[in-house]
Amino acid sequence: MAVDMNHALGDLCLHWVSLRWSLMLSARLKPAVTRVITPVAAFALRRGITPNAVTWVGAIGVVICALYFYPRGDFFIGTLAICILALSDLFDGTMARLSSAGSSKWGGFLDSTIDRITDSSILLGVSIYLINRDDQLAYVVVATLVTGLLVPYIRAKAESFGIPCSGGIAERTERLIISLAAIGFDGLGVPYVLATGMWALAILGSFTVVQRMLIVKRAI
């Protein structure tokens, strides 16, 4: 029993390290990807395509993939499709920077709102799959979904009072990479990775909520 427990803990540590490497890799790849898509973004603008249109197409695609593939248990295919569609987030931002009008308030509001929708659909799709299998991990995924909504809400509410409230141990980018890495690796049959990722997100998200609440409390 002790040997099995040690083996399980070792696997959990290994999967957590792999998630951390995913975060580092994403930070390194983003500038390179931006350089590649900039000419494409400029071409799209010349053809009359707007950044908001790209935002909508990417968001609808992510929601459809998350709610179709994940409840069926097709975690790897679903994650691969979502990762490709998620490039629209970089694409529309690049288009907004290149356009003569620049980033608009409506565009920023739309982007932020759609981020909440797409992030929630990913976790909702996974939770549906787990609920259908009577898996207790579904409770953790729901908790992760709730904290993922609370983090940006606290920031928005604080900023409505004129209090800057960004930062925290797990912002959207970190949460999204961890969730997609955990779901995708689970689809490849890697043991414990989904549970590790969801528990990590629930804990880190809760910690971030507390961090932002303390920021507001100190500022009032």
Catalytic residues: 115
> What is the rounded distance in angstroms from the CA atom of residue 53 to the CA atom of residue 100?
16
> Residue 174: which residues within 8 A CB-CB, separation 6 or more?
23, 204
CA 105 and chain centroid, separation: 22
Q: How many helices (H) and strands (E) does the chain have?
A: 8, 0
- CA-based torsion, 158, 159, 162, 163: positive or negative: positive
SS3 content of the chain, % helix, strand, coil (to 5): 85, 0, 15
Q: Are 43 and 99 in contact (CB under 8 A)?
A: no
The closest of 178, 193, 180 to 13, measured between CA atoms, is 193
Q: Are 60 and 104 in contact (CB under 8 A)?
A: no
